[in-house]
Structure 1
Amino acid sequence: MISDPEGTVLALFAAFCRIGACIMVMPGFSTARVSVQIRLFVAVAVSMAILPIMWNEIYPQISGKGHTYIYIVATETVIGSVIGLIARYYVLGLQFAGTVVTMMMGFNAPPANDVLEDTPENQLTNLISFAGLMLLFMLDFHHVILASVVDSYTVMPLGSGFDQQGVLITLTNALETTFYIMLRLASPFLIYGLLFNIAIGMVNKLAPQIPLYFISLPYLIMGGMFLLYLGIAAMLKLFADGFAPMMQGS
């Protein structure tokens, strides 16, 4: 028997604000292919599952009325959004790396429909970004995010306010880590494209009458595809290995 139904509902809604905001921007669940109803049901189910675990951290802080509870709702929403954005930045980084790989390979095909969003995207970028996201789901990356949400009640307790400087530092560190990891993933293709174009430019100086750029484009694409065939497994492995340390470090 619930002794305080009103307090229980308020505590559940406070937990839903942090968890729902995280799921709202979390990669995979926040895509255009997942309906709003599914996101809502998942957020409510996860909130009901986490509330008994974090009862002692959440329930004592929702006794205040009026503007105090409204402030708690606002801060919890922002904190949950920050946690979800850390994972979102990491997946967007892979999409950016896929775009760089496509450009360095010279594979400038007309964009098609994105697998995850409604915006047009290159086919090779679609392949890389969707494969990376599917690999994260296979490795239960959403469990890592939910564990980070639970741990966040220790770092940023409910009702303690919103640390703007700490949030900005966290997002900056996430972007920095994402940039270095994605640079490492795309570096073979950056070096390949740079060396290939330098070599073609030097050969073009020797024979300016021949349009070597148009002749060399199929070889650039063929070499890039072969390099992608050899390195895509290692690329996705490094991408998956870097996710959990980044979430735990942030």
Structure 2
Amino acid sequence: MVMPGFSSIRLPIQIRLFIALAVTGALLVSLWDQIAPFADRRPGVLGPLIASELMIGGLIGLMTRFYILALQFMGSAIAMLIGYGGMNGPGIEDGEPESAIGALISFSALLLLFVFDFHHEIVRALVDSYEIVPVDIAFRPQAALVDLTDTLSESFFVMLRIGSPFVAYAILVNLTVGFVNKLTPQIPVYFISLPFVITGGLFILYFSIGTMLSLVADSFVPVTIGR
């Protein structure tokens, strides 16, 4: 429901269900010794355990989801900073409208994460969660909120590093255009300068997108799972 890529509306619900059942069956084989002692058939005991495990799984998925949401936010911000965010199109992963630059960056990063098998790291985090939080220990909301807050903070810090060249570019360009507009108020400088602003931003994107995607991939595990 919340894992990046698999939670996309473009992925049929039947496929998501089959993936969940397949992963559950695969993990049950290796985790049976840790789960079997607590497999009490009484609803009063089994119900809270199931609810706790669902919330722990949702926490792991939300931490990775926050990272992708921060990337989508920065992609939209980059499009706005270089003047390319005037018209939004359909989003790649969800149904929300998204700028072309933002969709390109988020989809490229998501594809890169799957190419490097980072979705396996999420499954590994599910396995490790049974050692960090055994089945008999209930879900801890305070610790979960701390993890989510830290993930959100670190994710936006990484995305700010990614978007910093475009922030600096937007400040310099807008100051320059503003000064020129003051010198020649009778000419609509902003409309004339817009193609040059977009061209400069696209040049920066062309030379920096490799480094941007590399930073996204390198920071995924330490920010979302390495806690």
TM-score range, shorter chain: over 0.9
Matched, 1:159 2:136: yes
CA–CA distance in structure 2, aligned partners of residues 168 and 157 of structure 1: 19
SS state of the match for residue 25, structure 1? coil
SS state of the match for residue 84, structure 1? helix
Matched, 1:131 2:108: yes
- For residue 103 of structure 1, what is the aligned residue in structure 2? 80
Deviation digits for residues 211-241 of structure 1 (CA, Å, limit 9, x no counterpart):
1111111111000000000000110000011
Q: Which of 166, 173, 189 is residue 212 of structure 1 equivalent to?
A: 189
CA-CA distance at 1:198 after TM superposition: 0.7
CA–CA distance in structure 1, aligned partners of residues 72 and 163 of structure 2: 11
8 Å Cα contact 2:76-2:85 kept in structure 1: no
8 Å Cα contact 1:93-1:178 kept in structure 2: yes
Q: Which of 215, 221, 226 is residue 238 of structure 1 equivalent to?
A: 215
8 Å Cα contact 2:75-2:102 kept in structure 1: yes
- Report the AA paired with residue 177 of structure 1: E
CA-CA distance at 1:199 after TM superposition: 1.1
SS state of the match for residue 44, structure 1? helix
8 Å Cα contact 2:9-2:93 kept in structure 1: yes
| % same residue | 45
TM score, norm. by length of structure 2: 0.97
TM score, norm. by length of structure 1: 0.88
Q: Which of 152, 156, 178 is residue 179 of structure 1 equivalent to?
A: 156
- For residue 53 of structure 2, what is the aligned residue in structure 1? 76
Higher RCO (Cα < 8 Å, 6 or more apart): 2
CA–CA distance in structure 1, aligned partners of residues 90 and 224 of structure 2: 30
CA–CA distance in structure 1, aligned partners of residues 128 and 224 of structure 2: 11
Ranges of 4+ aligned residues in structure 1 off by more than 3 Å: none
8 Å Cα contact 2:90-2:97 kept in structure 1: yes
CA-CA distance at 1:119 after TM superposition: 2.1
Matched, 1:49 2:26: yes
- Report the AA paired with residue 80 of structure 1: G
Q: List runs of 5+ in structure 2 lacking aligned partners.
A: none
CA-CA distance at 1:86 after TM superposition: 0.7
Q: List runs of 5+ in structure 1 lacking aligned partners.
A: 1-23
Matched, 1:225 2:209: no
RMSD: 1.1
- Report the AA paired with residue 211 of structure 2: A
